[in-house]
Amino acid sequence: MKIVRITAMWCMSCLSMKKTWNKALKNYPDIEVIDLDYDFNEEEVKKYNVGKTLPELIIFNDGIEIKRIIGEKSFKEMQKILEVLNEKN
């Protein structure tokens, strides 16, 4: 599984969520995480059809997008999402 995290330095929700994501992902060391900044990786971000609401988390399995998470989520919500996705794979 691969996760693309799209954030921006000016986005307070992004800064907050990054800590939550990192904490939730500690239990899943096999998940590859790619961080992209909305402003500094414009061309790459465009490839993922990212909207204007950040943060955005795009989850891929075998190169296919399986889930997109937009906006802030609690640690428990992120934990549950990762548990469900991990069970399916």
pLDDT at 19: 86
DSSP label of 9 = T
Q: Residue 6: what pLDDT?
A: 95
CATH homologous superfamily of 2-88 equals Glutaredoxin (3.40.30.10)
* Distance from the first to the final alpha carbon of the chain: 8
- Amino acid 52: pLDDT: 83
Burial class for 33, CB neighbours closer than 10 Å (0-12, 13-18, 19+): middle
Per run of 10 residues, the mean pLDDT along the chain (length 89 residues) is 94 90 89 94 92 91 92 91 81
Domain spans in the chain, listed from the N-terminal domain onward = 2-88
Cβ neighbours of 67 (radius 10 Å): 15
Query: Which pLDDT score is estimated for 36?
Result: 95
